Structure 1
Amino acid sequence: MVQTISLETAKDVIDAAERKAQEIENPMVITVANSEGNLIAQHRMDDAWLASVNISRNKAYTSAALEMATDELAGPSQPGESLYGLQTTDDDRIVVFGGGYPLTRDGEVVGAIGVSGGQVDQDMEVAQAGVEAFEETAAQ
């Protein structure tokens, strides 16, 4: 049986990420996807950029589909590197900059979080708050 994330858990992850976004005073769009990259829940904070709706969803999709953080793709996707052009594949859904992380349970990717709305380091910080909340929930 494929493990997944419940809507309740997704909401907890989003809440934790939103608290971090409020703390750094930057509205974000936060997405939680299942292990196949399909949407479980998405939250757009007031005044978050409209473009961040799709970007956050694609960050979650990328992390689930490739089972890795999106920032790990930045280097290998540069011109001359082995994954150059990766972001133009899979119907342009692959994101090669930070803000997406897989969510794992017992060593298995069960979902992903994607965050967009700030500078890349801010997206990563907010997404990491969601990852930490997921890990606390998974440990219980």
Structure 2
Amino acid sequence: MSTDTPRKSAPASSVTRAAAGELIAAVHGAAARIGFSAAVAVTDQAGHPKAFDRADDAPFLTAEVALDKAWTAASFRLPTHTWNDLIANPRIAPLAGHPRVMAVGGGYPIIENGRYIGGLGISGGDYAQDQQAAEEALAALGFELPGQ
């Protein structure tokens, strides 16, 4: 029998405010090159907002969508574009009814050295443009993309 006391907590890593700001700037740069105006949300590892910015000419609904994409990516540690296939499974489909689950490209977990430290959500382009801007921004800052 072990006499060691079991741990009652675990350290949690979170994206820094500075890195969140750099991600937002990188997304806006990528979005401009791709040809759209974006709202960008960054959450911590628990899905709580860390930073947000919406381009002046991005539609107002993009703000909520970007936040929900970041939340979905951080919550499930999966890119949001993978949810279309997931919710096709009848055992998972009920999650599609959750008001914050966003099954549209443009949300990614933020991963550093194999640790999930937050979520990134982009809205303003079509799903492929949002997804491309997210991938470019994460790569530019040296974050890992899931499955790579």
Task: Please confirm whether the aligned pair reaches a TM-score higher than 0.5, indicating the same fold.
Answer: yes
Counterpart check, 1:86 vs 2:95: yes
Deviations 1:18-50 (A, max 9, x none): 001111221010111100011111110121010
Note the residue ranges of structure 1 that are not aligned, 5 or more in a row: none
TM-score (norm 1): 0.89
The 5 A counterparts of 1:1-140 are: 1-78=11-88, 81-89=90-98, 92-135=99-142
Note the residue ranges of structure 2 that are not aligned, 5 or more in a row: 1-10, 144-148
CA RMSD, Structure 1 to Structure 2 (Å)? 1.3
Per-residue deviation, 1:112: 1.1
Q: Which amino acid aligns with 1:75?
A: D
Structure number with higher helix proportion: 1
Q: Which amino acid aligns with 2:55?
A: M
Per-residue deviation, 1:113: 0.4
Per-residue deviation, 1:85: 3.3
Q: Which runs of 4+ in 1 moved over 6 A?
A: none
- Would the aligned equivalents of 1:103 and 1:134 in 2 still touch at CA under 8 Å? no
- Would the aligned equivalents of 1:12 and 1:133 in 2 still touch at CA under 8 Å? no
Larger Rg: 2
